[in-house]
A and B are shown apart, each in its own frame.
Chain A
Amino acid sequence: MKFMKVCRRLSYEHKSLVARGYSTVSEKWQSVVGLEVHAQLNTESKLFSGAQNTFGGVVNNCVSLFDAAVPGTLPVLNRKCVELGIMTALALSCKVNEISTFDRKHYFYADLPTGYQITQQRNPLASDGVINFQVFTPGIHKKPYRKSSKIKQIQLEQDSGKSLHDAELKRSLIDLNRAGAPLIELDGEEAAALVKELVLIVQRLGACTGRMEEGALRVDANVSIRRPGDPLSTRTEIKNIGSVRGVAGAIRHEIERQKTILDNGGHIINETRAYMPEPNLPPLRVNLKTDIEHRDVLSVPLIQGKIPELPEQSRKKLIEDFGLRPETSIQLVNEPTLLDYFQNLTSDKTRNPNKVANFLINDLLTVLNKRKLSADDCPLTVKQLKELTDMLLSKDINLEICRNVLDELIVISDDDVSPLDVVEEKGWKLQSNEDELTKLCIEVLENNPKLVKQYKSGKTKVFKALLGILSKSNNKVDMSVASKIMEGLLKK
């Protein structure tokens, strides 16, 4: 059971929302959206028990007595969770609190065996952080822009189990394997970018897998609205939004719902929940100053030293060291696999970084998308990609064939097959036989007497047009050889 909670508040003027296409929201209302992001910590055991913390285990097979709320059992804090929580807090420039405490949040639900969740409501592990992120969705935004949001607090908390409802047999079944998993939540297009940035950060830290499809990262949104100058209406919470894309829609819908209620003179109702200090866990202490740690006290400076390069730094490096455009740097960093390929492809010899980046983002990603694969599932080896980009960059093959080779390599998924093998086997190799090419060139010249006439009268520009006709007639022509032959023929 490990949870890490990242809270933030985004304040939107509706005009700005309208400007981004949220025209359904009336301009007389302002909305305030708070986000809660829960990220499941990537640890071997749960937050307060020794049970295995894993996704997809056999139902109720990763459950300790404590997880099942067996009477008399007590929570024992997992040190690794504290470490990952502190690491994330530091990566988000939070103030780590020397002393934090645990609380019980009460509610009755069948998949919450104790009837309360142990969390850190009042004195969290860390507070007052900042996350800087780039907002850029190709097709929606012309240019990326930078946003920054405050992070109110980071807290450790338990996840609940899962309820499975069988409507026909009128039965509810409970799986407690998850009892203690993490979530993350954001808002609108900007929120989507914020969530994405958080995912990248927790993945870099190894704190969380960031896999939203497994529920390793979940988002809740608190929405309230007001007329400018008025106090805020009662907040309502949208829980467990399952994907980054779902966030914007859910929030837009909630704002619209509240607006309709308030426009009709109604009130927004919210339930009250009671917290109580958790009496079975002593305050959690950390050492903020020195490298000394022992069983119950972790050293924050030691953890600071373990933080890897963060996404913001990576983007900066790509722009400054490789001369990439900001949007290219965002796209690369957003796909850790592509970034990894990029780093490999630009490390051993001078390949044009912009061309390599474009090849990865445009060509590789397009082919993967067609095959309905994510970048993470790309089966290609660095060696294969190196050979292929070299063939493309030295014009041994053209772009169209390059994409065909990519597709073929993905289908074969065999590390030992080289791009050259594919090209040769498929007969995609460019024609460079002089006799053959001479024949083709003569054909082009004979079919286009006007252009030949123009060329001979001094309009040498039409040479390119003739080459174009040649390449259209046959995509395997090695144009470097062909152009020499063509030139020779014209000069005769």
Chain B
Amino acid sequence: MNKLTGYTIKMVHQAYAEKMLTPTSFIDLSLQRTKQSRDLNAFVCVTEDTAETHSIESEKRFYISKQPKVLDGIPIAMKDNFCTSNIPTTCASEMLKNFVPSYDATVYSRLRRAGACLIGKCNLDEFAMGSGTVDSIFGPTRNPWQYDKKKWRISGGSSGGSAVAVASGSCLAAIGSDTGGSTRNPAALCGVVGLKPTYGLVSRHGLIPLVNSMDVPGILARTVEDVATILNVVAGPDINDSTTIKKPFEPITLKDIDLSQVRIGIPKEYHCEGMSREVIDIWGLVADLLEHQKAQLEVVSLPYTSASIAVYSILNQCEVASNMSRYDGIEYGLRANVNSSTEELYALTRHQGFNKVVRSRILAGNYFLLTRNYVKYFIKTLKLRRLIMDDFKKVFSPDGGVDLLLTPTTLSDAPLYHEFVAKHNRDQCAFQDYCTQPANMAGIPAISIPITLSKNNLPLSLQLMGPPLSEELMLNVAKKIESLVKFPILK
């Protein structure tokens, strides 16, 4: 591949300033790249005309009004569960295949206000339920690392399309969503940086929900600095999302930080069954690197970690059952061709519109929400969720606690597609999300950083987690790690 995979926002803006590149020519290159890498199936739809219009606007601001914005001429992609006005937003589901929103998600409108150019909408597991980007009506997304037509790796998910779009050079940054690891997991498997911000820092307005109490828009880019730039554009209170943090957002600045004042915890419960040797090795390696930089490292404990997967699974299914009940074929989306009764219309529409994973989660969720099961399951899981949150509170406590946690993101490098799909969706997620979903449970920020290549020549990544609103420290330490490990560019 070419140097498209090596560019950063800063480099592109420098090239625009020196007229080595122009927004229209660069967006054109990006669009060509989406075509060359069509096999990877990163995109549900490439918004060619929109991208060209956006790039012309950027070009005018660069060279005519000479007042370029932070993201002018920067190609971005959105996961296809973010509403974009007049552009189909499908959630990779038959149910919304024909759904064209009339409004923009807040994240997208803020990116646009900063001049970003939309090149396309990215593939995902149907309604973001998955960790492989294999359950999409548009087919699976393929990992660009070690890609072979016959034998290829999964991209991870559910924001696999966004991760692949960034990794393969179609865009500089992409927006994903993260409910249990859906941004960090594909970022880790595709060798890009993936940030899950603090719950409430970035507006969910316009993000088609999976689990409202855990969903966060995620940011994928090739460098920590680009992730920070995007975060500074999209973060902050939103009147349309009552759960956003009301305090005005202070933009994050990256600097060369002194690690001697930073305490980093290694939670022992993350050293779990099924974790590959290579992952354990790079975890130790990076811990050593940080210690070399005078960071204070210590082993800590988050005792309720193992309960997290079960708790996540029940809460997820309950909210899914509730959130999916609006898809009835009446107001928008698929409507089955039946007119014998309203009940019949619902049943057939929902049968035709949802895949098996979605339907089984709805069924299980409704079971847990039955009045007779409510206390037994739902209330109990809320209590366990509280304990998991308390684990984090204790470990991050100002007196004696640590500032950040360092863990693996995934238990191994990217699995082969045929091996992955042989497993049940529930087991895929339980395995893939083990290290990532506790952060969603607690609403805390987390970032996945690519570290090195495995013996299969596939990316291996680690994760940093911090207390709520610790993005600035977390991104600074991530940047330090990034500069120490020098992860290779995809060729």
Contact = CB atoms under 8 A, between A and B. Distances in A.
Interface of A: 65, 68-77, 104, 106, 108, 110, 113-116, 170-172, 174, 272-276, 279-282, 296
Interface string B318-351: 1100100110101110000001101100100000
Nearest to B246: A296
B242 A69 contact: no
Given A170-B339, A274-B371, A274-B374, A69 B243 contact: no
Given A65-B103, A172-B342, A116 B325 contact: yes
Interface string B20-35: 0000000000000000
Contact of A73 (B82, B205, B366): B205
Contacts of B6: none
A279 B331 contact: no
Contacts of B211: 279
- Residue from A115, A275, A296 with most neighbouring chain B CB atoms (10 Å): A115
Given A72-B101, A280-B243, A116 B322 contact: yes
Contact of A74 (B82, B241, B346, B370): B241
Given A272-B370, A276-B322, A77 B206 contact: no
Contact of A174 (B204, B330, B369, B372): B330
A contacts with B: majority SS: loop
Contacts of B332: 68, 70-71
Nearest to B321: A106
B101 A74 contact: no
A106 B328 contact: no
Top-10 shortest CB links A-B: A115-B325, A274-B369, A279-B212, A272-B371, A279-B213, A69-B326, A71-B208, A72-B206, A72-B83, A114-B326
For A113, A275, A279, A282, which residue has the most chain B Cβ atoms within 10 angstroms? A279
Interface of B: 82-83, 89, 91, 96, 99, 101-103, 105, 204-209, 211-213, 239-243, 246, 318-319, 322, 325-326, 328, 330-332, 339-340, 342-343, 346, 366, 369-372, 374, 378
Nearest to A67: B331
Given A65-B103, A77-B242, A170-B339, A70 B331 contact: yes
A72 B205 contact: yes
A108 B324 CA distance: 11
B102 A115 contact: no
A282 B242 contact: yes
A106 B369 CA distance: 10
21 contacts: A65-B103, A70-B331, A71-B332, A72-B82, A72-B105, A72-B209, A73-B206, A74-B240, A108-B325, A113-B328, A113-B330, A116-B322, A174-B330, A274-B366, A274-B374, A276-B369, A276-B378, A279-B243, A280-B241, A280-B242, A280-B243
Nearest to A272: B371
Contacts of B378: 276
Nearest to A48: B242
Contacts of A114: 325-326
A171 B339 contact: yes
B331 A68 contact: yes
B339 A274 contact: no
Given A69-B331, A71-B326, 5 more contacts: A71-B99, A72-B205, A108-B325, A113-B331, A281-B243
A108 B89 CA distance: 25
Contact of B207 (A72, A106, A170): A72
B366 A74 contact: no
Given A170-B339, A279-B319, A274 B370 contact: yes
A104 B325 CA distance: 12
Contacts of B374: 274-275
Contacts of B89: 71
A50 to B, nearest CB: 10
Contacts of A108: 325, 328, 343, 346
Contacts of B366: 274
B357 to A, nearest CB: 18
A104 B243 CA distance: 16
B90 to A, nearest CB: 11
Contacts of A70: 101-103, 331-332
Given A170-B339, A281-B242, A71 B212 contact: no
Contacts of A273: 371
Contacts of B343: 108
A172 B212 CA distance: 31
B240 A76 contact: yes
